[in-house]
Structure 1
């Protein structure tokens, strides 16, 4: 009978308050492409994080497709980078077919890169994301809560600490009440108090809990003026609507109209090296756009953006989503890791391990202001003149997609679909 390695993924996806909008400078325009097909030529073959970016993007869209199969007409929000980082770290201890399935599930092709390059890539991503000098608040990290009875192999412990900067915390997991309290306290601290008492129970034979967290808080360059925010209808399907707080701006944005997929793309960059894409399918075309979600599609969108003045309506929203990642991974072909055939022999001495549970929770909050200091009433006076042709009006008053990209590491930090801006899971 194998002991259960309880693998727990957790993150606070986005605390994106302080919605600001600005036009990209020439230098920022050069940085706006999240990942290009010829990334190695563009960025230099020696940058490890550049090599893993296309695989991480492929994984993001594959995971989204599995999530939407189960979501029906519900909100979707998750951090693909959090999930891939946690499983990549665990793969340090996987062997044989278990390791092969993990690599395939995470979209890594070992004919294109060697296994050490994967871990070097994640190491580089973690270094860049956690740079304290960044203008966006971004923290990502890992922790292993380890039972006293589990003797980790020194190489596994050294590697997870070296490549993934993981904390190794000795914990009495057999005393489940105390262990749960300890892990929840850690989670609460790392998510700045946003996630409290998340872990409710532990399997009786749990010997290790792996936690990955990511916290992001971004600010736009200029705030949506709260004086213009008003109640409006948000149509989550053809017959049903909810009231939403709709923010409004008439500004210059980088936008693109994809006539083939029948959707608008609006880029709303954060102050610093992060940006977000808001994708608004025409009525009845959401599935068509979702079916086309690939890294090549997003790359083409980013290449096609043009700076234009528009009327923009965007709802305030606060949503959360929770996923049974084990179930979704099994549908993606990663099955052995969760079975009695699991080979995690590179983790611990003389202990047969498998993963019993993987839970991923993500949260996002979008509103006008980020901090009290930024919540200053601002009245903007501009000259009025008739324009021809008039700027297009892009109203996010029906289900739309959102992708948040870190421009330094070319990583998709978060992505999702907002079906109901007022609904949390």
Structure 2
């Protein structure tokens, strides 16, 4: 349904009102007492919650971060209040998946980096642990690419916070913030002695006592799975000791029960909207896990089944989750050790065919679907000694392509298959999804 001119005008007016109100409050900070500053920052944080990506990027420029740096240096803005603002900005940036590069290039980023190093080098009796924690969280949440040179500082610092077992609301918020910040570290290799025992203890303790929030638990896994990308020795811990597939499936099932999938995202309440964000983040982790993992087992088959259920439930009003499901299924179909029977039993083939029948099919979704069917087709072609099983697979493949022929997509898959047979790299076309349709 298209928006009317009145709707667009009203939306633009609200956007302008938010950004202007934020700028007005920000300009007033220098002339306020600390308690008044805090109140204004709380109002500003409320406005940030309502901002979309375009508004967010228009406000949080290098110039604004440099101004905050100047205000802190001139002591017209206290670190306490600056932290209240900056942590909230960082959280919104991470949860809304906003690609904000302005902080990385700001004077404030460099100054924070220096302060983290300086505070860490102080003697134990002189060190302000709370200040160091705040600096590490702000730096990690706001940076697009946090410096890997300081892993030995902020990883142990924030894991110490995350190891708290107090289940009070305040403690849970502190743990959630620390783990969310750690989850924003890129997927580079970190020495195991800096994190493995601690993050393993955090995950295991939650599995027994359920002391973490949904977001905190997801963030703990996100931090660990990012290490898996470079360090394949983690596979035994992740798969067989901590049971990632089983845990991810359980979390998705529980979170799905709290979401009214028929309700549009803008109509959801605050708690339901947060659960949707956590589901989206789980699919980021699941994709990275599937990409790095080499072990196919019963628990992974259960996760695939859960992904199919979420795909069907999210169809219509939750594009990001739908894309996450299809990314994951396509990635799973590419695994050498993928069990085709598990994929068939999960209903993945039917679910992906149903996606291709949607009128809102986009280039990225079509690409995932076509690669998925190419991979499934290849596995169905594998020779089986059991004639009954071979006949069954042949029937499945025929039905699959008959369905695709009905929808008009069989030629696309044929061209992809031909590309592969001719030794052409169809993955290099991933960022130009429809080029393969006209390859020959």
TM-score by length of 2: 0.20
Q: Which protein has greater RCO, CA pairs closer than 8 Å, 6+ apart?
A: 1
Q: Which has the higher helix share?
A: 2
User: Could you tell me the TM-score, scaled by structure 1's length?
Assistant: 0.21
Bigger-Rg structure (1/2):
2
